[in-house]
């Protein structure tokens, strides 16, 4: 069973690397953004199948940070600065949401 | 020219750190191990990407916003990680079977 999981994951990653870096003819920044979105797919896998609630909270926290990096790359391609404003606000909201989720997980209420 | 090359190098390293951290998030067996792997992907992954963007853009408003993002991520992400780990331990989520020591449980017994 463990070998089956290993082979499935390796084939998934190898197929992504082949189609992203050798088949897809685009700019280099779009290839990097594709790698970032693929990482976000792994994070969503952990959100769906995570055994406990803390796994899901960790995954959502990391998803916010990944999206901050992706927004910086998109702004670098379009040469416009307001994407960094969206990234800053996204980081702030992700931080507040992580603190609130962890407080609920501990068993206390929000006004404690 | 050299500034843009250096910025692209930082962006490549940041993307590689992001991918490896997320791979650890999928692979490792426990909440605490997953948190440890995933926080590595913050401190050099996205911060590396933002620093590369700052190097490419120079001292414009875009570059200063990227620096501000690095400072904010470095301040806020360890706090969130610490709060999640503490809440998970207090909420009674067990450690993995291979772990050898649990000092925080001993500290809670002493109090």
This prediction's pTM: 0.87
Of all residues in chain A, the percent with pLDDT exceeding 70 is 96
Interval B23-35 mean pLDDT? 88
DSSP secondary structure letters along A30-80 = HHHHHHHHHHHHHHHHHHHH-SSHHHHHHHHHHHHHHHHHHHHHHHHHHT-
Interval A90-100 mean pLDDT? 91
Residue A107 per-residue DSSP state = T
In this complex, which of B15, B50, B87 lies closest to A32 when CB atoms are compared?
B15
Q: Is A88 on the interface with B (CB under 8 A)?
A: yes
Domain that holds residue B39: 2-110
Residues B73, A91: C-beta atoms closer than 8 Å: yes
Interval B79-95 mean pLDDT? 86
Query: What ipTM did this prediction achieve?
Result: 0.86
Count the domains in chain B: 1
């Amino acid at each position: 069973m463990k070998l089956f999981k290993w082979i499935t994951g390796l084939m998934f990653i190898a197929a992504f690397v082949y189609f992203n870096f050798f088949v897809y003819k685009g700019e280099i920044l779009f290839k990097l953004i594709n790698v970032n979105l693929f990482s976000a797919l792994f994070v969503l896998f952990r959100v769906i199948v995570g055994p406990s609630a803390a796994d899901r909270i960790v995954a959502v926290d990391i998803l916010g940070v990944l999206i901050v990096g992706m927004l910086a790359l998109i702004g670098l391609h379009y040469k416009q600065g307001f994407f960094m404003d969206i990234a800053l606000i996204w980081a702030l909201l992700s931080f507040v949401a992580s603190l609130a989720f962890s407080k609920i997980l501990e068993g206390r209420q929000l006004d404690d | 020219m050299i500034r843009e090359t250096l910025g692209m190098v930082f962006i490549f390293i940041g993307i590689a750190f992001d991918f490896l951290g997320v791979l650890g998030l999928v692979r490792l067996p426990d909440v605490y191990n997953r948190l440890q792997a995933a926080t590595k992907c913050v401190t050099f992954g996205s911060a590396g990407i933002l620093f590369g963007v700052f190097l490419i853009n120079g001292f414009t408003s875009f570059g200063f916003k990227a620096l501000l993002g690095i400072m904010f991520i470095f301040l806020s992400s360890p706090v969130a990680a610490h709060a999640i780990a503490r809440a998970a331990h207090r909420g009674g989520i067990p450690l993995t079977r291979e772990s050898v020591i649990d000092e925080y449980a001993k500290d809670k017994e002493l109090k």
